[in-house]
Amino acid sequence: GLCGYKTQLLVGVECRNAKQLATSEAAELYGKLEKYSNTSAGKRTLRSSTLPTQQDVAEWIADAQQADRRKSA
């Protein structure tokens, strides 16, 4: 699972569950996260943390896809 602030970032860009995450494109989702991180709400969410990289986002998506496959198997 993702730690608290990463989950909050995803919720901030309307990605609210694993199925939505699993069907996301890394570049598009990263772009949304980057925009959100520049808002006051995004800055509060990040606090002293750094924005995850596009590679991190791609890994979250891959993990969500694997979890989704395990559920439907």
Query: Is the pTM above the cut of 0.75?
Result: yes
What would the mean pLDDT of 44-55 be, rounded to a whole number?
Answer: 95
Residue type (1 letter), 58: A
Rounded CA gap, 43 and 48, in Å?
Answer: 9
In tens, the pLDDT along 17-31 reads 999 999 999 999 999
How confident is the model over 20-44, as a mean pLDDT?
A: 97
H-assigned helices in 1-73: 4-12, 18-22, 26-37, 40-46, 54-72
Query: Residues 6 or more apart from 63 whose CB is under 8 A from it?
Result: none
